[in-house]
Amino acid sequence: MASPSIEPPPPPWIYQVFLSFRGGDTRNNFVDHLYKELTIKGVYAFRDDSKLERGSSIAPALFQAIEDSRAAIVVLSPNYASSDWCLDELVKILECRESLGRMVVPVFHNVDPSDVEKLSGSFGLGFSELRERLLKEEMKKVKRWKEALSEVATISGWDSRYREEAAFIEQIVRDISDKVMCAPSSDAGELVGMGSRLEEIDELLQLDTNIVRMVGIWGLSGIGKTTAARVMFDRHSRQFEASCFLTNVADKFRLHGESALQHELLSKTLLERDLRTWPLGKGCNLIKERLSQRKVLLVFDDVDDLQQVELLANKLNWFGPGSRIIVISQDKQLLEAHGVNVIYEAKCLEDDEALQLFSHYAFHQNQPKKDYWELSHGFVYYASGLPLALKVLGSFLYNKSTCQWQNELNKLEKFPNRKIQDVLKMSYDGLEELDKKVFLDLACFFNGENVDEVRDILDACGFFPERAFGVLIDNAIKIPDLSAAQKLEILNLQDCTSLVELSSIQFLTKLKSLNLKGCKSLGTVPNVVGLKLLETLDLSDCSQLGTLPELPRNLKYLYVGGTAIEELPSSLGGLAFLVILDVKNCTRLQQIPISSKLNSLESLDISGCPHLLKRLSGNGNGELPESVGCCSSCMSHMDIDTENTTCKFFVSFPHL
């Protein structure tokens, strides 16, 4: 089945930009050109003359459009303050800025910002004329209008004076496009559990100080590092002269190189798309030259190599006073190596938060529906507080029946969700080979064991446990609890060369396939008779393995080639379902309990077993025992010696 995609509820706005303007001043010139350029750039803007349906009541419709817009561009022209409609719009826009976090971008079109703030000059004259026209009962609005004009005048915006209009509009559109296209939705789902986490990040950022500060966000894949950073970035970016959220740093670095990352950083912070190119190695100097006097907010997401940070923010003095740089990584050691000593550790959601987030995607409400409570808790338990897992599962289960939910929960107990597994596997794939092997050993065989004893075992095998433990911790690798995997059907531990013993699989009663091929340090295998559903056991090339336990009766495929065993257990002779028996290159093997009960055996490989082949000829008469011939009417393949070196022992062959 294809992995489900996350489909969160729609964002809490319809339009990306609301245009507030005085029609007589700018409708047929500046605003018309601005609206057209926004449309070309893919920014969905609301303009009262093109979006309102005929017959609509203009005030309620406009107010609703303001609430439904992600941002507002307020074009403050000379006669803006002479319109009570414009001023009512402005009051509503600023209310939404305060209560809903909407962005506001003022454009001072042929007016001085100080005239707007002080209501002076021609701008103030228009406001005075409006006040004289007001009825007595309308005068109570005047104070709020004044406050709104004073507030909007202090918001960082654009001044059209002494600017060429076409270039001026292009810069405005570029700025607003970056803000609304890259801004996170911050819907209810995104914000579940974010309150306390954002408070912790804000404390580390110390936004009220004028120092330059670099903060790290660290944690495992899918835990919400990027989401937290995006919500924080959206809330605070307006406090800075320039800002940039640089995504997928690791991938971009590998695909496009250092210059592409530096170019994207500068183009977003300087609002210049057509930056000149520069020689390789000069980007660092250019970043320092252009940003050293600017207060910037920078976020570098998914950093996995020290060089990436050094290319983008090697020194704090590259940036102006009050700047904040946030580096997001799964590698704590990388952050510390760059001198990022202030690090926020992203944590999994608490149980109540996890249930709320899951419900948001599964039901589009804050709690499960009546008949889904118990099932919901099952999925929440499976997700272990990981936001990504909760989103994926909730979105996939939306609008499905309880029967479908139960089937999916049963399936997850056997087969992990691919989308979740792929994200978590990124943490594992980033490890070196030695650390991968130690991780698998810890996860499957030593989880919950005494740390000192495990350390001694790994150290005796030459696997540098102290270093490995540190790497796993710094890379936020979470050791899974297999005791919760009682319905696991396949366990593949091939080439875990540090594995010494296998002692924790007795609870895997649903296990059908166990692959330990190439586990060269494995000395013993525990009793597997209790694994009644086990069909495949692969112990090939476990060169230290000297004995085998009794085998479960439903076993179909047994591979023990290349081991140090001297004999196979007597229970093998009664395996009526055994199809393949491979003991190739078991140089010490002397006995194999061939029996007529092996009536399903199709393939037998005993090549490279000199001691066994000698003993199979009985008392040295050079004949294979008749039991080899009668053990199976299905036998289609028998390999005695591919190298043809021990066939010299045989002078006759049994009837097959």
pLDDT in tens, 486-531: 567 778 878 777 666 665 566 677 888 898 898 888 888 878 877 8
Q: Report the alpha-carbon distance of residue 168 to residue 24 in Å, rounded.
A: 21
Tell whether the torsion through CA atoms of 560, 566, 569 and 575 is positive or negative. positive
**What tokens does 594 get?**
């061939």
pLDDT tens sequence across 383-425: 888 888 888 888 888 988 999 899 888 877 666 666 666 655 5
pLDDT tens sequence across 604-636: 888 888 888 777 655 444 445 554 555 545 666
Tell whether the torsion through CA atoms of 311, 317, 321 and 324 is positive or negative. positive
Q: Report the alpha-carbon distance of residue 432 to residue 267 in Å, rounded.
A: 36
For residues 391 and 417, the answer to whether their CB atoms sit within 8 Å is: no
- The larger pLDDT score, comparing residue 272 to residue 392, is at 392
Q: Report the alpha-carbon distance of residue 191 to residue 225 in Å, rounded.
A: 13
Residue type at 405? W
- Report CA-CA distances (Å) from 75 to 108, 179, 494: 6, 18, 66
Beta strands in 510-636 (DSSP E): 513-515, 536-538, 557-559, 580-582, 603-605
pLDDT tens sequence across 456-493: 655 555 555 555 455 444 444 344 444 445 567 778 87
Confidence grade of residue 642 (pLDDT, cut at 50, 70, 90): very low
In 10 A of CB 24, how many CB atoms? 13
pLDDT tens sequence across 159-192: 888 788 898 898 888 778 767 755 444 444 556 7
Confidence grade of residue 309 (pLDDT, cut at 50, 70, 90): very high
Residue type at 479? I
In 10 A of CB 560, how many CB atoms? 24
Length reported for the chain: 656
For the annotated catalytic residues, the residue numbers are 89
**What's the CA angle centered on 186, arms 183 and 189, to 5 degrees?**
140
Q: What pLDDT sits at residue 205? A: 92
- Name every residue whose Cβ is closer than 8 Å to that of residue 201 and which is 6 or more positions away in sequence: 215, 217, 228, 229, 232, 344
Q: What pLDDT sits at residue 310? A: 92
Integer Rg of the chain from CA: 35
Confidence grade of residue 74 (pLDDT, cut at 50, 70, 90): very high
Of 231-245, 280-294, 349-363, 486-500, least confident by mean pLDDT is: 486-500
Complete edge-to-edge strand list for the sheet that includes strand 296-300: 242-246, 296-300, 324-329, 213-218, 343-345
The mean pLDDT value for 235-248 works out to: 85
Beta strands in 482-628 (DSSP E): 490-492, 513-515, 536-538, 557-559, 580-582, 603-605
Helix residue ranges per DSSP H, 154-239: 165-182, 188-191, 194-205, 225-236
Kindly state the helix (H) or strand (E) to which residue 17 belongs, with its residue range. Answer: strand 15-20
For residues 399 and 361, the answer to whether their CB atoms sit within 8 Å is: no
**What tokens does 491 get?**
């366990």
3-state per-residue secondary structure call for 33-52: HHHHHHHHCCCCEECHHHHC
DSSP letter for each residue of 114-147: HHHHHT-HHHHHHHHHHHHHS-GGGTTHHHHHHH
Confidence grade of residue 17 (pLDDT, cut at 50, 70, 90): very high
Q: Output phi, psi for 411, to 5 deg.
A: -65, -40
Q: What pLDDT sits at residue 648? A: 52
Matching residue, tokens 């086990």: 534
- Bridge partners (DSSP) of residue 275 are none
- Name every residue whose Cβ is closer than 8 Å to that of residue 370 and which is 6 or more positions away in sequence: none
- Name every residue whose Cβ is closer than 8 Å to that of residue 425 and which is 6 or more positions away in sequence: none
Q: What pLDDT sits at residue 20? A: 93
The mean pLDDT value for 554-560 works out to: 94
Q: Report the alpha-carbon distance of residue 462 to residue 446 in Å, rounded.
A: 17
Q: Report the alpha-carbon distance of residue 348 to residue 197 in Å, rounded.
A: 11
In 10 A of CB 11, how many CB atoms? 14
DSSP, collapsed to helix, strand or coil, labels residue 385 as: coil
For residues 583 and 540, the answer to whether their CB atoms sit within 8 Å is: no
Residue type at 441? D
* pTM over the 0.85 mark: no
- The larger pLDDT score, comparing residue 345 to residue 615, is at 345
In 10 A of CB 556, how many CB atoms? 15
Q: Output phi, psi for 558, to 5 deg.
A: -125, 120
Would you give the distance in Å from CA 141 to the centre of its chain?
A: 49
DSSP, collapsed to helix, strand or coil, labels residue 70 as: strand
**What tokens does 273 get?**
């798309």
Q: What pLDDT sits at residue 267? A: 81
**What tokens does 13 get?**
């706005």
Q: Report the alpha-carbon distance of residue 329 to residue 410 in Å, rounded.
A: 34
DSSP, collapsed to helix, strand or coil, labels residue 222 as: coil
pLDDT tens sequence across 191-234: 676 777 888 888 999 988 999 999 999 887 778 888 889 888 88
Q: Report the alpha-carbon distance of residue 238 to residue 155 in Å, rounded.
A: 9
- The larger pLDDT score, comparing residue 630 to residue 95, is at 95
For residues 547 and 570, the answer to whether their CB atoms sit within 8 Å is: no
DSSP, collapsed to helix, strand or coil, labels residue 5 as: coil
For residues 190 and 391, the answer to whether their CB atoms sit within 8 Å is: no
Complete edge-to-edge strand list for the sheet that includes strand 103-108: 45-46, 15-20, 69-76, 103-108, 158-159
Of 241-245, 363-367, 505-509, 583-587, least confident by mean pLDDT is: 505-509
Q: What pLDDT sits at residue 540? A: 94
